[in-house]
Amino acid sequence: MTKAEKVNDILNILEKHFPDPEIPLHHKDAYTLLISVLLSAQCTDVMVNKTTPKLFKQADNPYDMLKMSVDEIRDIIRPCGLSPMKSKGIHGLSKILVEKYNGEVPNTFEQLEELPAVGHKTASVVLTQWFGLPTFPVDTHIHRLAYRWGLSKGKSVEQTEKDLKRLIPKEKWNKAHLQIIYFGRKFCPARNHNWRECPICSKYMRKELRD
């Protein structure tokens, strides 16, 4: 089996199990998505979705967010962890959006990554899930699965992103990254993973990782 055939088979399996993956973070526009993704760093989507309603009730746009103090933001987002850094980032990026972009979220990597607390992965998620641009966000979970399935030997998420972009057709990037996330949660957890019962791992898991 060629690498292309393997990738195509994996994509077909993902499509079979998750044909219509939804964006896991609740949002209504680019700004609320940006804030939600920022909060999801080292935090579960479930916890983010429990936390953001209270935050967005007070401020669901950068103008209202600036009316809140960093301390007020931190108190609300505390359950998401890293609240000192995240609250400063949320307040700081809101200020830039108001002053530089008329309150709108920009749609380029360069502009997004200049915002406080916004890294490459956060920018990638916003660009693909809101603006529909072809990016392939890679977090530690996708990084782990790509290695497990033999799609990348990357030592970093950056290298894994390059490998997946090279192997997966560009028109499938936006959907595939969500499918991998959902598939990993259901079939490929980091702990207590039974590779024999996983539709992908049972066929393609690296030999050195098997029991």
Contact between residue 188 and residue 198 where contact means Cβ atoms under 8 Å apart = yes
Give the tens place of pLDDT for each residue, 116-167: 999 999 999 999 999 999 999 999 999 999 999 999 998 899 999 999 999 9
Give the tens place of pLDDT for each residue, 173-189: 999 999 999 999 999 98
139 classed as catalytic: yes
Q: Which domains does the chain have, with CATH numbers?
A: 3-21+136-209 (1.10.1670.10), 30-129 (1.10.340.30)
Contact between residue 174 and residue 128 where contact means Cβ atoms under 8 Å apart = yes
Query: Which DSSP category does 156 fall into?
Result: S
Give the tens place of pLDDT for each residue, 34-77: 999 999 999 999 999 999 999 999 999 999 999 999 999 999 99
Total-model pTM: 0.93
Candidate list 121, 155, 165, 170, residue with the active-site label: 121
Candidate list 60, 86, 139, 175, residue with the active-site label: 139
